[in-house]
Amino acid sequence: MSRIETLAVHAGREDFAELGVHAPPIDLSTTYPVRDLDEGTASFDALVGGAASAGNSIYARLHNPTVDRVEKAIARLEGTEACVGYGSGMAALTAMLMDARSRGGHVLVVRPLYGTSDHLLASGLCGIEAEFVDAGEIALRKRADTALVIIETPANPTLDLVDIRAVVAAAGHVPVLVDSTFATPVLQNPAELGAAYVMHSATKFLGGHGDVIAGVVCCSEERAKPLRVVRAATGALMHPLGAYLLHRGLATLALRVERAQANAEDIARRLAAHPAVAKVFYPGLGTTRNAHLVGEQMRGPGALMAFEMAEGYGAAAAVMAHVGLITPAVSLGSVDSLIQHPSGLTHRVVSEAAKTATGITPGLLRLSVGIEAVDDIWADLDQAMRRAGMSQVA
C-alpha cells in the first residue's frame, strides 16, 4: 500500500487516464435516463438494497458518481473496504444510530464527545437508549441488546485519548464506532485497531478549507450496506459539489495536518508558560488522559488543543473578542486558526452535570491551529490574552 501522503493525492483518481481528465469530474445530475427498463429496475433494487453502485444511478438520492469517487478515496485512506458519505457529520451519526436501533437499540457512549453528538444521543431522538459510561466500564455495562459502542478520540474538546484496542476488547462482539475527526487518517487509523466503524465530520480536516459540510463512515462492505439503505431512505446523501470540494481538499491533507500539528506543538508550549493560562490540554504536552497513546495509537499529537483561562469566563470571552488573525468561530481543521468557547457554543446543548464531569468549564477555550506562520498565530493570541487581562482589571 502507498504511504498516506501518496494516497491523499491519488486515491479516487485511478481512472483519470482512461477518462482523459486531470481534475475530478462533477456530476450534478439529479436523475439519470432509463432506456432499458429491466436494467433500471435491477439497478433500483440494488441501490435501495444498499449496493455501492449499479448499472444505472437512477436518481441522485440513491447514488452519485462524484460522491462515489470521494468515498472510494477516503476508504483507501482509512484502509477499509467501503466508505459511506453523508450531507454532514451529524447525518452520518444519525444513520449509525438508526442502524443500531435495528440491531438492539442500546448504545454505550464514552464522554466527552462533540456537543451535538452528545445531545442527539442523550435526547433519544433516534429511538435508541444511550448509556454514558467510562471507557473502563464497557465490559460491565454491555447488555444483550447493546448494538454499538461510541467513542471519540481525541475527544472534543478536552483532547482526552481513548485506547481503541482496549475498548474493542471490552466491547467483544459489539461493534465499536470511533469518531476520528480530530486525528484524521494521517495520524490514526482506528480500523487497523479493531474498530468496526470510523466516522469523520469531513467538514473539518478532510475538506480543510471551511467550505464543505459533509460526513463519512468507513467500514466493511457488509456494514456499509444498511448505512446506504438509511441514506437512500432519508435523503442524506452528500451533495456532489461538496464531494468534489472534499476530494480536492484530500490532496493536501497530509501537508496541512503536518504543518498545523507542528504549529500546535509550538503554540501549546507557549500557552503552558503564559501567566494568563491555568492549564493547557494537549496530548503533546502529556496533559490529557492517555497521552501515552501518542506514538502508539496516534502518529502525532494533532493540531487541536484546549486551554483554561486563569480568570475564567470573562477572560475567555475577552480573548474571543480581541483575536484578529485567529477567527473566533466554531468548527476546526481549516487552513486558518479558529478559536471557540465549548461551554457556550459547541457544547452548550450538553447538560451542566456532564460538562462539569468532563472538564468543560466556563473558562475553557478550544483552539484549532492552522497553517499560518506560527509566530503570527502566537502574536495574535498573546495580544488577545494581554488585552483580556487588561479588560479584567478594568
Query: Active-site residues: which are they?
Result: 61, 114, 179, 204
- The answer to whether residues 338 and 260 touch, using CB atoms and an 8 Å cutoff, is no
- Side-chain half-sphere of 40: how many Cα atoms within 13 Å? 9
| Cα–Cα distance measured from residue 171 to residue 31, given in angstroms and rounded to the nearest whole number | 42
The DSSP string of 355-387 is HHHTT--TTEEEEE--SS-HHHHHHHHHHHHHH
**CA distances for 253 relative to 207, 209, 258, 296, 335, angstroms:** 8, 10, 8, 21, 10
In the numeric block, the cell 487552513 is attached to 335
| Cα–Cα distance measured from residue 308 to residue 374, given in angstroms and rounded to the nearest whole number | 21
**11: number of Cβ within 10 Å:** 21
- The answer to whether residues 354 and 376 touch, using CB atoms and an 8 Å cutoff, is no
| Cα–Cα distance measured from residue 23 to residue 32, given in angstroms and rounded to the nearest whole number | 23
- The answer to whether residues 187 and 193 touch, using CB atoms and an 8 Å cutoff, is no
